[in-house]
């Protein structure tokens, strides 16, 4: 039953490095030769470990006597065409780094799978705090507030970058972002549909007809959340935004509202805040967070209920694909089964937000 399972300590489980498992070993001789040819200032020898976190792209810490780097690679083996886009991550960070936006410095992209068995890139190591629990249990209220403000301000600063001016003008189609996302996830949902959910059918009909005007086109991160950033070791500021695999051009409010969903997601040891006394914790309310983002960007106040409905619909489409694979027997892990059980609750919450946004009952 929900709420009876022990809460996972994500901070302990996901932060830090482990010895590299046998299946994830790299050819260090070939890698050293690539570093020598491509990484400015490199001097070996190399030693390495693997980051614990649950990244879809395996990530390693590469240490030399004078410098530490991060190597991020695609998984070994056969991949879906657009999945695990390390080249996309590399392009986004390479364009943003010279602007002063907090991303690691990139050193090189290797598209030759012959070097280590998969495409990879190398970037600088951001030494700081990796935070997983949205309640920030180890911080006093004033510091929690500063961390949330830093998260919101950093996202606003990303959305204010002009893609064409920093070499990302062709990073994606800038317009009709939500319409294309709704069409994509409707199609994915229909292909993997396993039962009739009347609320989902209503959302599929209503969402495309009610899309708010897209006031701006910006770089969108696609998965902007607490554990995808590194904070300064002693100051409450973001020093690196990570995991740009889903980045593209699109509607910044879709990106911002994805972050704001954490105010409506249950507090489970990760980024969710629902059920916490955020006022006592010093965490800004949803209205305060929206007000801060709007003040920094100059965008109109967004219709958050519509965007929450949209984001939950999108997540339901993703989870339905997992559910279909569980039923087909191609995703039999306990974690996949648990995730597949979230489809109906996600749809119901999306439907509630749609009603709040004006969908006829």
**108 and 202 co-located in one domain:** no
Residue 182: the pLDDT is 96
More confident residue, 98 or 17: 98
Packing angle, helices 177-191 and 198-206, rounded to 10: 150
Angle, CA of 268, 271 and 275, to the nearest 5° = 50
More confident residue, 285 or 6: 285
Question: What does residue 85 show for φ and ψ, rounded to 5 degrees?
Answer: -80, 75
Please say whether the beta carbons of 283 and 273 come within 8 A.
Answer: yes
Which of 12-16, 35-39, 297-301 is predicted with the least confidence, judged by mean pLDDT?
A: 12-16
**98 and 170 co-located in one domain:** no
More confident residue, 268 or 296: 296
Residue 62: the pLDDT is 96
**195 and 339 co-located in one domain:** yes
**329 and 214 co-located in one domain:** yes
**108 and 179 co-located in one domain:** no
Out of 125, 140, 161, a domain closes at 125
Task: Give dist(CA 109, CA 113) in Å, integer.
Answer: 11
Q: Which domain holds residue 288?
A: 130-356
pLDDT digits (tens, 9 = 90+) for 161-194: 999 999 999 999 989 999 999 999 999 999 888 8
**Is residue 185, in this structure, part of any structural domain at all?**
yes
**Is residue 3, in this structure, part of any structural domain at all?**
no
**247 and 110 co-located in one domain:** no
Q: Tell me, what CATH number does 266's domain have?
A: 3.90.1200.10
pLDDT digits (tens, 9 = 90+) for 183-237: 999 999 998 888 899 999 999 999 999 999 999 999 999 999 999 999 999 999 9
More confident residue, 213 or 340: 213
Task: Give dist(CA 55, CA 130) in Å, integer.
Answer: 14
Out of 125, 153, 170, a domain closes at 125
- The beta-strand segments (E) located in 125-198 are 129-130
Residue 268: the pLDDT is 85
Angle, CA of 324, 325 and 328, to the nearest 5° = 85
**Is residue 92, in this structure, part of any structural domain at all?**
yes
The token duo for 277 is 């006394």
Out of 90, 125, 160, a domain closes at 125
- What's the structural domain count of the chain? 2
**40 and 141 co-located in one domain:** no
pLDDT digits (tens, 9 = 90+) for 106-150: 999 999 989 998 899 999 999 999 999 999 999 999 999 999 999
**148 and 105 co-located in one domain:** no
Assess whether pLDDT exceeds 70 at residue 332.
no
Residue 1: the pLDDT is 33
H/E stretch holding 339 reads helix 334-340
What is the band of 44 on the pLDDT scale with cuts at 50, 70, 90? confident
**138 and 231 co-located in one domain:** yes
**Is residue 235, in this structure, part of any structural domain at all?**
yes
**Is residue 361, in this structure, part of any structural domain at all?**
no
Q: Tell me, what CATH number does 56's domain have?
A: 3.30.200.20
**140 and 117 co-located in one domain:** no
pTM score > 0.85 for this model? Answer: yes
Task: Give dist(CA 231, CA 347) in Å, integer.
Answer: 34
**Is residue 201, in this structure, part of any structural domain at all?**
yes
- Mean pLDDT calculated for residue range 16-39: 90
Task: Give dist(CA 176, CA 186) in Å, integer.
Answer: 15
**Is residue 72, in this structure, part of any structural domain at all?**
yes
Burial (0-12, 13-18, 19+ Cβ within 10 Å), 232: middle
The token duo for 354 is 């749609």
**155 and 299 co-located in one domain:** yes
Residue 5: the pLDDT is 43
Please say whether the beta carbons of 210 and 202 come within 8 A.
Answer: no
Contacts of 355 (CB under 8 A, 6+ apart): 361
Burial (0-12, 13-18, 19+ Cβ within 10 Å), 295: exposed
Mean pLDDT of the chain: 90
**77 and 206 co-located in one domain:** no
Please say whether the beta carbons of 290 and 260 come within 8 A.
Answer: yes
Burial (0-12, 13-18, 19+ Cβ within 10 Å), 247: buried
**Is residue 4, in this structure, part of any structural domain at all?**
no
What is the band of 92 on the pLDDT scale with cuts at 50, 70, 90? very high
What is the band of 292 on the pLDDT scale with cuts at 50, 70, 90? very high
- Mean pLDDT calculated for residue range 256-276: 93
More confident residue, 294 or 6: 294
Contacts of 81 (CB under 8 A, 6+ apart): none
Q: How far is CA 309 from CA 9, 254, 260, 312, 313, in A?
A: 29, 11, 12, 5, 6
Assess whether pLDDT exceeds 80 at residue 80.
no
- Mean pLDDT calculated for residue range 66-95: 82
């Amino acid at each position: 039953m929900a709420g009876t399972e022990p809460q996972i300590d994500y901070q302990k489980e996901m932060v830090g490095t482990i010895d590299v498992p046998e299946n994830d070993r790299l050819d260090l001789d070939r890698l050293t030769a690539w570093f020598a040819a491509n990484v400015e200032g490199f001097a070996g020898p190399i030693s390495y470990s693997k980051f614990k976190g649950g990244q879809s792209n395996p990530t390693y810490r590469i240490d030399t006597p004078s410098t530490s780097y991060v190597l991020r690679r695609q998984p070994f083996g056969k991949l879906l065409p657009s999945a695990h886009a390390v080249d996309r991550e590399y392009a986004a960070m390479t364009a943003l780094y010279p602007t002063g936006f907090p991303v690691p410095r990139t050193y090189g992209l290797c598209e030759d799978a012959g070097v280590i068995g998969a495409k990879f890139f190398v970037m600088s190591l951001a030494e700081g705090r990796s935070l997983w629990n949205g309640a920030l249990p180890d911080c006093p209220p004033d510091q929690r507030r500063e961390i949330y403000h830093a998260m919101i301000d950093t996202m606003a600063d990303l959305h204010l970058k002009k893609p064409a001016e920093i070499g990302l003008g062709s990073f994606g189609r800038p317009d009709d972002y939500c319409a294309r996302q709704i069409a994509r996830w409707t199609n994915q949902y229909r292909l993997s549909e396993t039962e009739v959910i009347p609320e989902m059918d209503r959302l599929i009909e209503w969402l495309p007809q009610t899309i708010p005007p897209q006031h701006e086109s910006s770089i969108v991160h696609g998965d902007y959340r607490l554990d995808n950033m590194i904070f300064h070791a002693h100051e409450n500021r973001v020093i690196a935004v990570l995991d740009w695999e889903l980045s593209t051009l699109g509607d910044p409010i879709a990106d911002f509202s994805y972050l704001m969903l954490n105010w409506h997601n249950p507090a489970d040891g990760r980024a969710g805040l629902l059920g916490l006394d955020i006022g006592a914790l010093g965490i800004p309310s949803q209205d305060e967070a929206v007000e801060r983002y709007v003040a920094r960007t100059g965008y109109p106040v967004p219709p958050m209920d519509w965007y929450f409905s949209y984001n939950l619909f999108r997540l339901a489409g993703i989870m339905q694909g997992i559910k279909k694979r569980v039923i087909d027997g191609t995703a039999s892990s306990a974690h996949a089964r648990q995730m597949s059980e979230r489809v109906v609750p996600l749809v119901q919450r999306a439907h509630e937000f749609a009603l709040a946004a004006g969908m006829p009952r």
